[in-house]
Amino acid sequence: MRVFIALRLPEAFRNSLVDACTALRAARPGLRWVRPESMHLTLAFLGELDGAGVEGAIKAARLAVRSVAPDGRTMAFELGTTGLLAFPSRGPASVLAAAAGAGARESGLLALRLERELERVGSETGRPFRPRERRPFSPHVTLARAVRPGVRLSAAELSTPIVASCIVNTLAVFRSGLGPSGARYEVLEAIALRR
């Protein structure tokens, strides 16, 4: 099964992102918009894993949360978006996302700890996870994907204010599956960040 680890986002936050994109949605039929219930902030994509791999991923996620908040106190934090990002940054975009402002440092720290724990657990079990991402971590929430390659967004579109904030208090290990209407995600394990 395809597995990734991400921050779960509250419903009100996801709905705020949808509302902020209303005009852009109407102007851009060439984009396939992510359903609100599928929005999340990915910290690690692990690819195809079997049952033992999933158990290792869950263990690493729990250890990462503990390492960030070793005293058992809160690791929950405020996450806020600041505007739009297009990936790749040069040329035609294939992904449109909301960039994290507030909470970028905290989500980056959690992603780093998660990466370390995945390496450690993979080494201990003799079942290494995917190699590290080569690009620097850029916390974002994917909003839309291009239906066809070649989407170019204007500077005015990219300057659309996408402002939303929430308290993030759950890290989750997700299973991803493709269906006729796009990706479907199932939470395999939810880990409280406490608040």
Instruction: For the chain, give percent helix, strand, coil, nearest 5.
Output: 30, 35, 30
Catalytic residue among 41, 140, 142, 173: 140
pTM of the model: 0.90
Do residues 22 and 63 lie in contact, with contact meaning Cβ atoms separated by under 8 Å? no
Note the pLDDT of residue 126.
81
Note the pLDDT of residue 8.
97
Note the pLDDT of residue 70.
62
Note the pLDDT of residue 74.
64
Do residues 144 and 162 lie in contact, with contact meaning Cβ atoms separated by under 8 Å? no
Kindly list the structural domains of the chain, giving each domain's residue range(s) and its CATH number in brackets, ordered by start: 2-79+103-140 (3.90.1140.10)
- 10 Å CB burial of residue 121 (0-12, 13-18, 19+) is buried
State how far the Cα of 165 lies from the Cα of 100, in Å rounded to an integer: 9
State how far the Cα of 113 lies from the Cα of 193, in Å rounded to an integer: 14
Catalytic residue among 8, 40, 59, 113: 40
Annotation says 40 is catalytic: yes
Its sign, for the CA torsion 34, 36, 42, 47, is: negative
Sites in the chain below the pLDDT cut of 50 = none
